[in-house]
Amino acid sequence: MKLIPKLISIFENLQTPEMVSAHCDLPCGVYDPAQARIEAQSVKAIIEKYNASDDDSFRTRATIIKEERADLVKRHLWILWTDYFKPEHLEKYPELHSLFWKATKTAGEVKKTNEVAVADRLLDEISEIDRIFWETKK
């Protein structure tokens, strides 16, 4: 069979696409605050190791990795905020906007410090987002 007739045959057999809808970009189940939490836990562990070391080379590498992990926290939070949460969630949980704003700001702040308390605050903020997330999944 020649190419053009074969293509015509394929297109003639195509069906009209069916319209579907989903709460998020993909069917639910692909989003989870655990990704942000895991990266934030890594940030905290890096800070602890940084503070326990006096090796300048190690501390430099730790700082670079900590900043990468903090950026991943921000990325995972923003994806969750922009792709999963919808207006009806904001109506039920009006604190969502400020929670995400604070958590992403804290993720930026943790890049500039080696204080465990800042990493703990980030984990607490992610924990609150996580709580609301799972309430919306019920």
What is the C-alpha separation between 97 and 66, in angstroms, rounded?
Answer: 25
Q: What is the pLDDT of residues 97-122, one digit of tens each?
A: 999 999 999 999 999 999 999 999 99
Structural domains of the chain ordered from first start: 30-136 (1.20.120.400)
What is the C-alpha separation between 121 and 102, in angstroms, rounded?
Answer: 10
What is the C-alpha separation between 45 and 136, in angstroms, rounded?
Answer: 30
Angle subtended at Cα 102 by Cα 101 and Cα 104, rounded to the nearest 5 degrees? 70
pTM of structure: 0.79
Quote the mean pLDDT of the chain. 89
